[in-house]
Amino acid sequence: MKAIAIIPGTVGTRIVDRPEPSITSPDEVKVKVKRVGICGTDREEVSGGRADAPDGQKELVIGHEMFSQVVEVGTSVTRVKVGDFAVFTVRRGCDQCAPCLMGRADMCQTGNYKERGIRGLDGYQTEFVVDKEQHLEAVGVLMEPLSIVEKGIEEALRLQAVRSPEAAITPAWIVGCRCLVAGLGPVGLLACMVLRLRGADVFGLDVVGVTSARPKWLNVIGGHYVDGRQVPADQVDKKIGPMDLLVDASGIAALEFNLLDALALNGVYVITGIPGGDHPLQIQGAELVRQLVLDNQVMLGSVNAAHGHFQMGADDLFQAHLRWGAHIGALITNRYSYSQFAESVTHHSPETIKEVIEWA
């Protein structure tokens, strides 16, 4: 079967032939891959950045945002049957630390975890995949990026419920809260969607024209677009007002720090964007720490997701479809065949939101 592989640490991709995997234990599920999303992590990997091949292998099959159909199940599998649609999660725990043993590899404490398509395990840009039932979740190629968003926002809301007397007695604290999401790629727009579903007043910041695809998508779900070229992050507070919740999905370190200016008293700030490179950055350290302390603020980083976050994502996708219908699917703007992969990772315009490789 065909697969898209890289040699970690080098630039470029290649299409390789791999033996089709088969079920070898009763708790395994074999799926036929239907489509796989492409994100910033894939772009970093194919340009020689963060990625590791499996032990003893030179190549790594990439891809971690998959959508597939079950074609065969092991004898002990109960949650899915042949024909069901499903996704496999990405991270596999170290089997050593408490979070991993509790099924929360996203909070691994040893750092010895693996990730399919990223770190030490082959990924999903291929025709067939076999893995254990416990790593399986339901529906949709947007599930993996959505699970990242669900985790970050849930952590922020839980923190607020513990910290703020108002949020503690008001389960719907987020309703009407002012939230700013920076970086309107798929993760940012999905964050806007999740916050709109919870009743927040949502602002999305990017640096593209107001009539391009991402601001338009945001507009339809009731969000307000902020053009960062006219309202830089450090003027959001002055021009639009302070934000109770900030979500960063930009991966631009300078912006991530500048955004702190927009955070309201008692506010919480979730960062999911991972800056690439090592550009030095000057920050006003004393001023920043002073603000965090005197304004009771939390700045929190969040990566990967647990099974519960995939389930929250599935529920939210269902709600979003009821409310906005086909508009949700319109997040996928570009579809390519596997042979066009090289083109799909380099072509990225303001009109592009989510790119996927169609396998079947």
Residues that bind Zn ion (CB under 5 A): 39, 41, 65, 93-94, 97, 100, 108, 110
Non-local (6+) Cβ contacts of 86 within 8 A are 29, 31, 68, 69, 70, 80, 136, 137, 138, 139
Cβ–Cβ < 8 Å for 115, 90: yes
Question: Which is nearer to Zn ion, 152 or 267 (by Cβ)?
Answer: 152
Instruction: Specify the pairing of strand 178-182 against strand 201-206.
Output: parallel
Helix (H, G, I), strand (E, B) or coil at 152: helix
Measured from the CB atom, is 108 or 353 closer to Zn ion?
A: 108
Kindly state the smallest distance separating residue 124's Cβ from Zn ion, in Å.
Answer: 11
For residue 156 the two structure tokens come to 């922020």
Start-to-end CA span in the chain (Å): 12
Question: What is the length of the chain?
Answer: 360
In whole angstroms, give the CA distance from residue 161 to residue 165.
7
Least CB distance to Zn ion at residue 315 (A): 21
Distance of CA 13 to the CA centre of its chain: 22
Given the complex with Zn ion, which of 30 and 91 has the nearer CB atom?
91
- Closest by alpha carbon to 126, among 48, 58, 30? 30
Q: Which is nearer to Zn ion, 149 or 268 (CB)?
A: 149
- Closest CB 144 distance from Zn ion, rounded Å: 6
Nearest CA to 183 out of 243, 279, 271 is that of 271
Smallest separation (angstroms) from Zn ion to the CB of 179: 22
Minimum distance from CB of 109 to Zn ion (Å)?
A: 6
- Residue number, 108 or 255, with CB nearest to Zn ion: 108
Nearer to Zn ion, 62 or 260 (CB): 62
CA-based diameter of the chain, in Å?
61
In angstroms, rounded to a whole number, what is the distance separating the alpha carbons of residues 341 and 344? 5
CB 230 within 8 A of CB 209: no
Alpha carbon distance 50, 59 (integer Å): 14
H or E element that contains 285: helix 285-294
What does the buried/exposed string (b/e) look like for 211-240 if buried means 16 or more CB atoms within 10 Å of the residue's CB? ebbbbebbeebebebbebeebbbeebbeeb
Closer residue to Zn ion in complex, CB, 244/355 = 355
Please answer whether residues 251 and 274 qualify as being in contact, where contact means their C-beta atoms are separated by less than 8 angstroms. yes
Closest contact distance (angstroms) between CB of 306 and Zn ion is 12
**CA 323 distance to own-chain centroid:** 22
- Cβ at position 111, least distance to Zn ion in Å: 8
- Supply the minimum distance, in Å, between the C-beta of residue 88 and Zn ion: 13
Radius of gyration of the chain (CA): 20
Nearer to Zn ion, 39 or 305 (CB): 39
Question: Which lies closer to Zn ion via its Cβ, residue 73 or residue 194?
Answer: 194
CB of 40 to Zn ion, least distance (A): 7
